[in-house]
Amino acid sequence: MSSIFFTDEEEEFRAKVRQFAHKEIGPIAETIERENEYHRELITKMAKHGFLGTLHEPKYGGIGPSAVKEIAVAEEISAVSPAIDMSRLSSSVLYSTPVSSFGSDEQKKRFLTPIVKGEKIGAFCLTEPDVGSDVAGMKTRATHSGKEYTLNGEKRFITNGSVADLLLVAAVTNPDVHPHKGMSTLVVETDSPGFEVVKDYDLMGMRGARIAHLRFSNVIVPQDNLIGRENEGWGVVTHELDVERTAIAAEAVGYARTPFEIAVRYSDERVQFDRPIRKFEAISFRIADMATRLEAARLLTLKAARMIDRALPATKEAAMAKDFATETAFQTASDALQILGGIGYTKEYPVERFFRDSRLMKIGGGTTEILKFLIQREVYRELGL
């Protein structure tokens, strides 16, 4: 994207992330995919460069807050390994943003700084076996007694769930009211008695990440681990989702960029009927559409990030960015595979990997259908309808 949209300092930061991604992750990206390896040491390395601290204050080990820098990290790491960035983002954004925004100074020192420094891994626990898009149907309960909570319930599809040290768990603390008014968020340490990793899921894509089913059986959580106020967890969750969706949109730009670049180069090198296939409009026009969608996805994502940095409401913009960018990523990977033809369906090129990886993000962080609902709702609200 043209540098007219970024400051020199932001451009320099992006270049730093890109160099790291190609040097540290690129050489092992295919091994991570093939062996389904989780590389915790890469998270630690990224922390040393500040890539886990883009949204967090220097006081707690961060280099931000800057959503614009976060989308730079998300795009550049994802362009090399979607699975690695999903692991990073789940710890430094999904888990950490609520702690950073709603935690006390003491809580940030205990539960945020170790994450930002890469000393511990975090995970955000929202989805349940019977609760996906309908968060209001949450069944996990946290009963308050004295100076502690007793936590019971299950969470599934939790990224980093089986490898995390700290979990931010959404649970109902007042079952007598609508969950929007009776939900709370608690930090749970995974060495707590009663916490169990039921299993890791075997996924179609995102190999190298860990997506888990978790169970909490009478887990005792100190009252001091409550993030925000009791029964006001819905605000904590929804605040996190705008940031999460913007960061996922940036990841999707990365997922799209690599297959796109491979397709462009291949179409220039592949010769059929005595000329490069780029000379056929069926190919070159497809490249034009891919390029246009990719640029539009970047701009939507940047707009949402700038609004977040200015503390402006960004629910509609974050939903638009994620909806369009994730659709663009999947379509671009599909188009790239078609341009490569038979070889694209093999593992000779990473296009098939990005095709599989990109499909997940039309589900995670808010399905395409839920995002469209949010977008239209905000459109009508803005017109007073």
Q: What is the CATH number of the domain that holds 169?
A: 2.40.110.10
pTM here is: 0.93
Q: What is the pLDDT of residue 358?
A: 95
**pLDDT per residue as tens digits for the range 331-384:** 999 999 999 999 999 999 999 999 999 999 999 888 999 999 999 999 999 999
Q: Which two tokens stand for residue 288?
A: 């034009």
Query: Are 256 and 321 within 8 A, CB to CB?
Result: no
For the chain, the residue count is 385
Q: Which two tokens stand for residue 162?
A: 């089986």
The residues of the chain scoring below 70 in pLDDT are 1-2
Phi, psi of 217 (to 5 degrees): -120, 100
Are 138 and 201 part of one and the same domain?
yes
Dist CA 149 CA 173 (whole Å): 9
**pLDDT per residue as tens digits for the range 99-130:** 999 999 999 999 999 999 999 999 999 999 88
Q: What is the CATH number of the domain that holds 299?
A: 1.20.140.10
Query: Are 98 and 233 within 8 A, CB to CB?
Result: no
Are 207 and 331 part of one and the same domain?
no
Q: What is the CATH number of the domain that holds 76?
A: 1.10.540.10
Are 241 and 376 part of one and the same domain?
yes
Are 256 and 361 part of one and the same domain?
yes
Q: How far is CA 6 from the centre of its chain?
A: 22
Are 243 and 146 part of one and the same domain?
no
Helices within the chain (DSSP H only): 8-20, 29-35, 40-48, 67-78, 82-89, 96-102, 105-111, 113-116, 179-182, 233-269, 281-309, 315-340, 351-360, 368-382
Largest CA distance in the chain: 80
Domain boundary among 116, 132, 151: 116
- Name the one residue in this structure whose structure tokens are 């990841």: 251
Are 224 and 238 part of one and the same domain?
no
Interior CA angle at 11 toward 5 and 13, to 5°?
135
Phi, psi of 167 (to 5 degrees): -120, 140
Dist CA 325 CA 336 (whole Å): 16
Radius of gyration of the chain, Cα coordinates, nearest whole angstrom: 21
What is the count of structural domains for the chain? 3
Are 239 and 360 part of one and the same domain?
yes
Domain boundary among 179, 207, 229: 229
> β-strands 183-189, 195-200: how paired?
unpaired
Q: What is the pLDDT of residue 240?
A: 76
**pLDDT per residue as tens digits for the range 187-209:** 999 999 999 999 999 999 999 99
Interior CA angle at 372 toward 138 and 287, to 5°?
130
Range of the domain at 84: 3-116
Q: What is the pLDDT of residue 241?
A: 85
SS3 320: helix
Domain boundary among 116, 133, 163: 116
Q: Which two tokens stand for residue 265?
A: 């180069």
Are 70 and 185 part of one and the same domain?
no
SS3 95: helix
Are 38 and 162 part of one and the same domain?
no
Dist CA 175 CA 302 (whole Å): 39
Are 77 and 209 part of one and the same domain?
no
- Could you tell me which of 40, 38, 37, 34 has the C-alpha nearest to residue 52? 40
For CA atoms 360, 346, 32, 45, give the dihedral sign: negative
Q: What is the pLDDT of residue 2?
A: 55
> β-strands 122-125, 271-272: how paired?
unpaired
Q: 283: which residues sit within 8 A by CB, 6+ positions away?
A: 267, 277, 339
Q: What is the pLDDT of residue 90?
A: 96
Are 239 and 364 part of one and the same domain?
yes
Query: Which run of H or E residues covers position 138?
Result: none
SS3 215: strand
Q: Which two tokens stand for residue 175?
A: 């079952």
Are 208 and 253 part of one and the same domain?
no
